[in-house]
Amino acid sequence: MPNIVIVSAQPDRVQNLSLDLARHGLDCPVISSNEKILQYLEDDSPDLVLIDIASVAVESNRWLLSNTIKEHFNCSVIGLLTRNSLDDIEVTVPIDDFVMEPWDSAEVALRIRRALWRTTNIEGDSIIKYGDLVIDLDKYEVSVSGRLINLSFKEYELLKVLVTNKDRVLTREAILDKVWGYDYFGGDRTVDVHIRRLRSKIEDAHHSFIDTVRNVGYKFIV
């Protein structure tokens, strides 16, 4: 589940939006933009922050928080704007997207998912996409260039483990533990066989996703 928060100097203004977004499968708690906001974000490590720009009374301070968040945290920022706050926006303002009031929860939810996909390749908490490879965690489906791939359960679990540890080398022992369980009595050969089968299904002359690290294990590459 992506970590999303709504920041407002007047939390009551955005409480209904938070509730409506929950109906779209997005948990977006509201926090006050007080002096402790940066410490809260530091501890919480958000993936995306929605900022109620118009709740900041002093115009010169309206973009200060978004600028600070973009400087200190590796996350997307979406501005919740009114007509008045739109008038003083410039192309250099450090936000990734914005939505005009009255805020439609369906539109905000779509903009959140698009922002998350651009920055993390994760659409909400159910779709993982790397290039032409798409994994639908809700449907247990895998496709490459729009073509559905028929994987066994172990092949699917193996791919998911590799993808969620992308660019990290996983030893055969680690893969056995994560996919088959610590009490599995099979050897490294089991991993090699399943890797070979998985490659034969998702890789071709135009797609290569799994790299072999000699004498160590495997890693997912993009």
**Closest among 75, 130, 56, 133 to 65, alpha carbons compared:** 56
One domain for residues 8 and 118: yes
Say what angle helices 153-163 and 188-202 make with each other, to 10 degrees: 90
Last residue of a domain, one of 123, 152, 169: 123
Total tally of structural domains belonging to the chain: 2
Alpha-carbon gap, residue 95 to 72, rounded angstroms: 14
Task: Give the 3-state secondary structure of residue 60.
Answer: helix
One domain for residues 108 and 21: yes
pTM summary value: 0.55
Range of the domain at 200: 127-220
One domain for residues 9 and 119: yes
Last residue of a domain, one of 123, 154, 188: 123
One domain for residues 75 and 27: yes
Q: Please answer whether residues 188 and 172 qualify as being in contact, where contact means their C-beta atoms are separated by less than 8 angstroms.
A: yes
One domain for residues 9 and 34: yes
One domain for residues 36 and 110: yes
User: pLDDT (tens digit, 0 to 9) for every residue of the chain, 222 residues total?
Assistant: 678 899 998 999 999 999 999 988 888 999 987 767 777 777 777 888 999 987 765 555 667 788 888 777 768 899 998 877 777 676 667 788 999 999 999 999 889 888 877 765 555 557 788 888 988 887 788 999 888 999 888 898 899 999 988 878 999 988 988 888 755 666 778 899 999 999 999 998 888 999 999 889 999 987
One domain for residues 87 and 180: no
One domain for residues 93 and 134: no
One domain for residues 60 and 73: yes
Structure tokens belonging to residue 35: 């002096």
One domain for residues 13 and 80: yes
Last residue of a domain, one of 101, 123, 145: 123
CATH (domain of 72): 3.40.50.2300
Question: Could you count the other beta carbons within 10 Å of the beta carbon of residue 36?
Answer: 10
